[in-house]
C-alpha cells in the first residue's frame, strides 16, 4: 500500500470536519450508552462502521432488539449514497493498487467525500494527492471514533435525561433531512413516506426505501430508560453481530465502484433513484417519532417532540446546519420540558 500522508494541508482540512464530528460523535456515544452499549462497543462500531447516520439508526434499532437482518438491510439502503460518492471519486485513483483502494474506501463519508472532491478539483499547486486523501479519511475516523467512546463513557456518569437524548436523535435526523428538501420533487418522497409510515406503521414497498419497516420491528419509540437497558444489556454476540453486519453492508456500498465500476458509466436511472433514497428514509424516521411518540397520534401540548420540532424547523430548514439542529433542538426541548 502507498504511504499515508498527514501533513499541514490535511490537518487544515480536518479542522471543520473534526468540529462537527466531536459534537455528533459525543451525541452518538451518549445515545449508544442509553441503548445499552459499552464504551468499547461504541468505539468498535465507530472504527469499523464509520457512518454517522447509519450508526444513529443502527443504535436505535439495536435498542429495540431489531433482527440482525433488519438492521443490515436498513443500513445498506441508508448508505447506498456511498455508491455515488465512490463513483465520483474513482477517476482520481486511476493506477492505484487494489490494497490502497480497499483502505481508502472505508473512510468515505459525506464530509470526507465533499472535502476530498473539492481538494482534488481545486488544489493543483501542489496537487492534492491520494495519500493526503487517505490521511484525511483516517484522521477523520480517529476523531469520530474517540468522540463516540468519550460520549458513551461520560454518559454513564452524567446520566443525561433519556427523553432529551432521544430527541437529539430526532433533531439529528431532521438536520440531515432538510438538506434534501430542496424543491417539491425532492421533498415529496420524504413527506409521503413519513406520513405513510405514521398512518400504517409500514413503509410503502413501492418507494423501495425503508427496510426498517418492511422487516419489523415496530416504529421506534423514544429510547426508554432502564427497562431497555436491562433487556438489552444485550448479549455481546448480538451487539458485535450487529456491528459487523453494519460494517459489511456499509463497506460494500463504498468499495463496489472502485472494484467493479472503474471505467464504466453508472446508469442514469440508478443515479436518479439514489437521489430520492435519503429524503424518503429520513422522512420515515422523523415524522412518526414527532407525531406518534407513544405509538398513537398526539397533537397535545405535552408532546414535546412535536412542538420542539415545530419551533426549530424554520431555523434548521433555513440554515441547513446539522450542528445547529442538534444544539437548538436540545435547548428548545429542555426549555419546554422545564416550562410544561
pLDDT, average across residues 100-110: 92
Given a cut of 50, is residue 143 above it in pLDDT?
yes
CB 23 within 8 A of CB 222: no
Q: What is the pLDDT of residues 280-339, one digit of tens each?
A: 767 877 888 888 887 788 888 889 999 999 999 999 999 888 778 888 888 999 999 888
DSSP for 222-265, written as a single string: P--SHHHHHHHS--HHHHHHHHHHHHHHHHHHHHHHHHH-TTSP
What pLDDT shows up at residue 205? 38
CA distance 219 to 215: 11
The model's confidence at residue 219, banded by pLDDT at 50, 70 and 90, is very low
pLDDT over 90, % of the chain: 32
CB 57 within 8 A of CB 78: yes
More confident residue, 327 or 266: 327
Q: What is the pLDDT of residues 121-133, one digit of tens each?
A: 888 778 999 999 9
Residue with cell 500500500: 1
Given a cut of 60, is residue 225 above it in pLDDT?
no
Given a cut of 90, is residue 2 above it in pLDDT?
no
From 78-82, 148-152, 211-215, 321-325, the region with the lowest mean pLDDT: 211-215
**What burial class does residue 295 get, using C-beta atoms within 10 Å of its C-beta: 0-12 exposed, 13-18 middle, 19+ buried?**
exposed
The strand pairing partners of 124, in sequence order, are 127
Given a cut of 50, is residue 213 above it in pLDDT?
no
The strand pairing partners of 127, in sequence order, are 124
The domain locations on the chain are 8-339
Residue 127 DSSP symbol: B
More confident residue, 312 or 234: 312
What pLDDT shows up at residue 46? 96
Q: What is the pLDDT of residues 25-55, one digit of tens each?
A: 888 898 898 888 999 999 999 999 999 889 9
What pLDDT shows up at residue 224? 46
What pLDDT shows up at residue 198? 66
Given a cut of 90, is residue 204 above it in pLDDT?
no
State the chain's mean pLDDT as an integer.
Answer: 81
What pLDDT shows up at residue 48? 96
Backbone angles phi, psi at 38, to 5 degrees: -90, 165
Residue with cell 440482525: 68
The model's confidence at residue 274, banded by pLDDT at 50, 70 and 90, is low
CA distance 132 to 11: 10
pLDDT, average across residues 142-160: 89
Indicate the pTM of the whole model: 0.71
The model's confidence at residue 184, banded by pLDDT at 50, 70 and 90, is confident
Amino acid at each position: 500500500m502507498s504511504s499515508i500522508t498527514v501533513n499541514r494541508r490535511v490537518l487544515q482540512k480536518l479542522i471543520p470536519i473534526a468540529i462537527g464530528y466531536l459534537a455528533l460523535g459525543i451525541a452518538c456515544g451518549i445515545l449508544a450508552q442509553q441503548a445499552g452499549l459499552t464504551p468499547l462497543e461504541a468505539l468498535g462500531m465507530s472504527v469499523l462502521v464509520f457512518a454517522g447516520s447509519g450508526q444513529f439508526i443502527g443504535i436505535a434499532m439495536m435498542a429495540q432488539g431489531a433482527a440482525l437482518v433488519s438492521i443490515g438491510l436498513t443500513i445498506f439502503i441508508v448508505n447506498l449514497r456511498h455508491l455515488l460518492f465512490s463513483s465520483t471519486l474513482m477517476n482520481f485513483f486511476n493506477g492505484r493498487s487494489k490494497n490502497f483502494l480497499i483502505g481508502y474506501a472505508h473512510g468515505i463519508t459525506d464530509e470526507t467525500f465533499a472535502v476530498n472532491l473539492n481538494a482534488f478539483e481545486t488544489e493543483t499547486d501542489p496537487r492534492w494527492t491520494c495519500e493526503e486523501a487517505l490521511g484525511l479519511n483516517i484522521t477523520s475516523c480517529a476523531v469520530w471514533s474517540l468522540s463516540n467512546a468519550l460520549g458513551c463513557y461520560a454518559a454513564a456518569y452524567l446520566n443525561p435525561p433519556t427523553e432529551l437524548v432521544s430527541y437529539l436523535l430526532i433533531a439529528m435526523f431532521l438536520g440531515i433531512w432538510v438538506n434534501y428538501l430542496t424543491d417539491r420533487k425532492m421533498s415529496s418522497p420524504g413527506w409521503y413516506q413519513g406520513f405513510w409510515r405514521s398512518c400504517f406503521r409500514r413503509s410503502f414497498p413501492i418507494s423501495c426505501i425503508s427496510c426498517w419497516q418492511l422487516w419489523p420491528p415496530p416504529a421506534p419509540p423514544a429510547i426508554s430508560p432502564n427497562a431497555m437497558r436491562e433487556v438489552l444489556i444485550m448479549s455481546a454476540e448480538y451487539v458485535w453481530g450487529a456491528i459487523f453486519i453494519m460494517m459489511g453492508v456499509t463497506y460494500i456500498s463504498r468499495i463496489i465502484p472502485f472494484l467493479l465500476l472503474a471505467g464504466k458509466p453508472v446508469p442514469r436511472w440508478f443515479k436518479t433513484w439514489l437521489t430520492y433514497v435519503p429524503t424518503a428514509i429520513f422522512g420515515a424516521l422523523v415524522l412518526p417519532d414527532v407525531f406518534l411518540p407513544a405509538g398513537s397520534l398526539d397533537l397535545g401540548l405535552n408532546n414535546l417532540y412535536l412542538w420542539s420540532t415545530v419551533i426549530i424547523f424554520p431555523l434548521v430548514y433555513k440554515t441547513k446546519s446539522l450542528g445547529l439542529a442538534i444544539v437548538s433542538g436540545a435547548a428548545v426541548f429542555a426549555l419546554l420540558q422545564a416550562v410544561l
